A and B are shown apart, each in its own frame.
Chain A
Amino acid sequence: SQKIEQNSEALNIQEGKTATLTCNYTNYSPAYLQWYRQDPGRGPVFLLLIRENEKEKRKERLKVTFDTTLKQSLFHITASQPADSATYLCALTASGGSYIPTFGRGTSLIVHP
């Protein structure tokens, strides 16, 4: 069956360090993968999209990589700040079908000052 896995354990890092979050998937033929940020009690907010034929995407302090051989995406936040503390969700859209994003359960990031 199709699965999207994100580390359920919170990631704790010090301010200024690079945070790296992982999204693994199985039994998907992906068209693209999205990363969203979700704060408590709020809706997810779109951050970045990377297509299956792209290796890397950057936006300001954010970088996403996509390895379709390893079936994995890595999400990096450089020079992290306490304001980056949130839950980060990856969402995979399979090629063909209805192109509806399927979300992982998210990883909580806590940046300590």
Chain B
Amino acid sequence: DSGVTQTPKHLITATGQRVTLRCSPRSGDLSVYWYQQSLDQGLQFLIQYYNGEERAKGNILERFSAQQFPDLHSELNLSSLELGDSALYFCASSPQGSTNEKLFFGSGTQLSVL
């Protein structure tokens, strides 16, 4: 058990809908990362937050947004969903904000857009 909690484990929704994925980092970790994993793209970095502020941005679509709250949990919001958004979404945490030498991943949220 990595100590990173993601909810829900599975999400089935329709095209055009909006969903929110939730992540609680390991106790004491200030950094949260979101990654998307699909069969054709592998594990792709979306966005990083450190202590409530956006630290780095990857290939995150404009339809997607994230935030980190004062209690350090994070939410990833996906809107106007398309079939191609179906993927495993992972949250990871680490104590550091800048060197990211070891990431602890949650078990992921499997999103299916029908």
Contacts and interface: CB of A to CB of B under 8 A. Distances in A.
Given A43-B107, A104-B42, A93 B100 contact: yes
Interface in B38-62: 42-43, 45, 48, 55-56, 58
Contacts of B101: 32, 34, 49, 93
Interface of B: 2, 4, 33, 35, 42-43, 45, 48, 55-56, 58, 90, 92, 98-108, 110
A100 interface: yes
B102 A100 contact: no
Interface in A69-98: 89, 93, 98
Contacts of A46: 102-104
A42 B43 contact: no
A106 B4 CA distance: 22
A55 B45 CA distance: 27
B98 A99 contact: yes
Contacts of A18: none
Contact of B102 (A34, A42, A89, A105): A34
A84 to B, nearest CB: 19
A45 interface: yes
Contacts of B99: 99
A49 B100 CA distance: 11
A16 interface: no
A103 interface: yes
A104 to B, nearest CB: 7
Given A100-B56, A100-B100, A42 B45 contact: no
